[in-house]
A and B are shown apart, each in its own frame.
Chain A
Amino acid sequence: MEVTLIINGDRFSFSATPDEILLDTLRKLGYKSVKRGCDSTSCGVCQILVDGKLVPSCGFLTVRANHKLITTIEGVQEQVREIANYITAEGVEQCGFCSPGHMMSLIALFKEIEHPTMEQVKHYLAGNMCRCSGYEGQHRALANYLEVNNR
């Protein structure tokens, strides 16, 4: 099926098979920030935005994304850098494999909830697995970020 995807503002038209997964399409097109951790929508490392909504791209058919706006971390580098400064200041990105998905969750969260509480943050991030950090440091970093940005 012919599909057109608008990825970070760039248009791609190509023919996709009905069972093609968006995660595969994106990686094939060179968006290597989108990682694969599980295939079962349960780790969060492949998360991106489709029409501004957070989705695990491993569970999203490419044909469903036809004519939709897709945002990967490549498209929001400056916004991410701002949050990332707090993350890296805490040293909490260890192997970093979970980080892009984690960042995309945060981008979606801050879009949906203007001044989230830490409880809301944790709840929102519940699907973002990290096996390295123990989460405590992520929460420290995000609490610092919120303190500065929630004013």
Chain B
Amino acid sequence: MSIKTSIPKVDGMGLVLGKPAYTDDLAPRDALIVKVLRSPHAHAKITSIDVSSALAIPEIKCVLTHENVPDHVFSRAGQGFPEPSPYDARILNKTVRYIGDAVAVIAGATEKVVDLAMSKIKVSYEVLPAIIDFEEAMDHKVLIHANDETSSMFPIGHDAKRNLAAQYEMKIGDMGQTLDSCDVVIKERYFTQAQAHAMTEPHSAVAYYDFQDRLTIISATQTPFHVRRILAKNLNIPLSTIRVIKPRIGGGYGGKQAIHGEFFVALVTQMTKRPAKLIYTRKEVFTASYTRHQMRIDITLGAMNDGTLKAIDVDILSNTGAYGEHALTVLMVAGSKTLPLYNHVDAVGFRGDVVYTNLTPAGAFRGYGAIQGNFALESIMDELADKLKLDPIELRRKNMIHEGETSKIFEVMGEGTEGTAMTVESCKLEECLDSVLTTLDWQKKYPRTQVDEHTVRGVGLALAMQGSGIPYIDMASAILKLNDDGFFNLLIGATDLGTGSDTILSQIAAETLGVPDDKIIVYSSDTDLTPFDTGAYASSTTYISGHSVRIAAERMREAIVEKANRFFKVTDAQFDGENITAADTVISLKEFATTLYYSQQQEQLVAHGSYVGTKSPPPYMVGACEVEVDKRTGRIKVLEYHGAVDCGTPINPNLARIQVEGALLQGIGMTLYEEVNYLENGSVFNNSFMRYKVPTRMDVGPMHVSFEESYEPSGPYGAKSVGEIGIDTPPAAIANAIFNATGVRIRSLPITSESLWNALNQK
């Protein structure tokens, strides 16, 4: 039995032992070093660019500028096609739109020489006024994409003339009338910040022509198939001439769901016919890749005195920075993956504008809008409880979603498009709630305990939901091959970012085939060798790719039995994972496979599976914590964090647990420490790990993660997803705990000691 066992990751030992596995480790030794000259201005037009003295250096092999690269408008977002993001970027542009935007690309023999060449490129700029404050961006007189022919593949509310990357609105029920009929209406405004992914491996890409002249890209990407598609289209070369290999990746969390350096290395290789590599510096990762979308969220709740929630209305302003990658979809997820939590309401409204600013672009980031929306919704639920003098737990119990129920939101809001109606067939939210209340000892600690004169502790919690892939969009496939000696190759397009999906998918294959795990040798993510997969995002891998593996394995079983029937001239051969039994003959799979290929029948057995989701069953979670506040300094410490998760069947409980623990810490980081700080001119101030503070092992107390298992009928072996859900609860749970401790409500992230101290002293 393979499912529900915590086998070690198939690639784990090799990685811990430091074997070469990542993009830079695999780059050809003679690869040209590629670097990018980046804009020092937040908004400027390049009036002239002189690269002659750079090119005069013999070791410099090529310099790319907007003058010698293909001039297409496209989206760097690694999403399905057609993308729900505006086409607003060029490989290199005459206009630069943030400090860090690419101006020129230099390739040469050594880093030193490239640095030297970079210093010799002369660029003159006509500096344009910039928009730094996202609240001022809409309908500003400065237009960020004024003269470029931006467009969208289908209506996404894109309107460059208003600095709008995307816009969305939906209404269910009569909001005005419902609010009028409520005993209590509360309306609050919340802010969430730009957060950096801070994956340990910087963005990296390598290109070379292989011996057959195929343009090969090795890239730390979550979406190799999207990379191939976007490259081919915008380099004007056939898809068939490109191969994209995803090796091991040092973390992604959404940050690698995009094109980063791939165009540059590909073009350098095209022009020089030499291998090329671009490894971002840490500063570039901070300033010139992606952040989380900063948001301003206005939320209104209407309720009756007994705590019956009647209306939720949400209005969001989202900051996409200079380019609109994931602009619409992140916005929509802020509603679609939070609002169904309270599905008994009469009216729901959701609308939002995603604006351009002259800042580092925002993109996909674990939680993908849900964490922003969750902060607002789960904070205001506590505010409502306070106003109604109700227990926040009781308020939630009364209104939250249950197994067998549905929400109109599922039908109305998808990711970029309409949604898909679905009934929630697995939901252990109630059990999750009970679980954390018990393990945290909530009764005893709620709302606060006074430690001493100035130290006080409080508890807080939040519910959360996410999804499992995007219905009718996310697609995955798998191929299983039986080898002589009776072991299998599993070829999958799914992209393991470190989550352990290669392992989980081989467990699904082993389970279905009934064979031991070590009989499955997995190979993933190479556009030439593995079948298609939309990529690792939207919490889709276990659910979508898992199904494709299950289907392939079922077909493989059938194929083995069919062969055995022919072999033994029977109709009822049995395969139990080890042996094949026909009448009274028993033959091991090992022997059978060898015979099959060397002497009898002599035909290769291969099976494939392909799957596209028709629903997106949400995993659920409750997160609860106890925090301690020192009122003299505003110092906040998370003493313990408890999470109970319903992700259906955890295929590999250890790996599921680490997903949640890691995500929790990222969520705690977002709540208390992390923020991409911009200076007035739009440059990122904290562009290094010296200044950008991700939580360390000394910063937080213990975490307790438990699983309230459910069985999701639509999932492989009852599984739902677990990749993102873990990040969602900390902002609201911690804010609620701080309120319970101090009586002060912080509505703006991150909640720093300074912000709390200021609030405490204004009271």
Q: Min CB distance, A45 to chain B, in Å?
A: 6
- Return chain A residues, CB-CB under 8 Å to B743: none
Per-residue 0/1 for B7-43: is the Cβ within 8 Å of any A Cβ (1 yes, 0 no)? 0110111011111111011000000000000000000
Among B52-60, B303-311, B649-657, the stretch that binds chain A is B649-657
Interface residues on B, range: 35 or more
Q: Are A81 and B13 in contact (CB under 8 A)?
A: yes
Q: Are A133 and B17 in contact (CB under 8 A)?
A: no
Select which of A40, A90, A135 is within 8 A of B689 by beta carbon: A40
B70 at the interface (CB under 8 A from A): no
- Return chain A residues, CB-CB under 8 Å to B250: 35, 37, 95-98
- Return chain B residues, CB-CB under 8 Å to A95: 15, 199-201, 248-252, 497-498
Select which of B13, B658, B690 is within 8 A of A94 by beta carbon: B658
| Interface of chain A: mostly helix, strand, loop or mixed | loop
Q: Are A134 and B282 in contact (CB under 8 A)?
A: no
How many angstroms between the C-alpha atoms of A40 and B654 in the bound complex?
Answer: 33
In A106-137, the 8 Å CB interface with B consists of 122-123, 125-126, 128-137
- Return chain A residues, CB-CB under 8 Å to B21: 96
Closest residue of A by beta carbon distance from B248: A96
Q: Are A91 and B8 also in contact (CB < 8 A) when A36-B279, A42-B689, A96-B16 are?
A: yes
Q: Are B282 and A35 in contact (CB under 8 A)?
A: no
Q: Min CB distance, A138 to chain B, in Å?
A: 7
Q: Min CB distance, B29 to chain A, in Å?
A: 9
Select which of B200, B499, B665 is within 8 A of A97 by beta carbon: B200
Q: Are A91 and B694 in contact (CB under 8 A)?
A: no
- Return chain A residues, CB-CB under 8 Å to B697: 122, 125-126, 128, 135, 138-139
- Return chain B residues, CB-CB under 8 Å to A43: 200, 689
Q: Are A91 and B200 in contact (CB under 8 A)?
A: no
Q: Are B689 and A91 in contact (CB under 8 A)?
A: no
Q: Min CB distance, B632 to chain A, in Å?
A: 25
16 A-B pairs within 8 Å (CB atoms) are namely: A33-B18, A38-B689, A80-B17, A84-B12, A91-B6, A91-B655, A94-B498, A96-B248, A96-B250, A97-B248, A98-B200, A131-B253, A132-B658, A135-B665, A137-B658, A139-B697
Question: Which positions in B face A, CB cutoff 8 Å?
Answer: 6, 8-9, 11-13, 15-22, 24-25, 197-202, 248-253, 279, 281-282, 497-500, 652, 654-655, 657-658, 660-666, 688-690, 694, 696-698, 702-703, 705
Taking A32-B18, A134-B663 as given, write out 12 further A-B residue pairs in contact, using a Cβ cutoff of 8 Å, ordered by the A residue number. Answer: A33-B18, A37-B282, A42-B688, A81-B17, A95-B249, A97-B199, A128-B697, A131-B666, A132-B658, A134-B660, A135-B665, A137-B658
Question: Which positions in A face B, CB cutoff 8 Å?
Answer: 27, 32-40, 42-43, 45, 72-74, 77, 80-81, 84, 87-100, 103, 122-123, 125-126, 128-139
Give the top 5 A-B pairs by smallest Cβ distance, nearest first: A33-B18, A95-B498, A96-B15, A97-B250, A134-B661
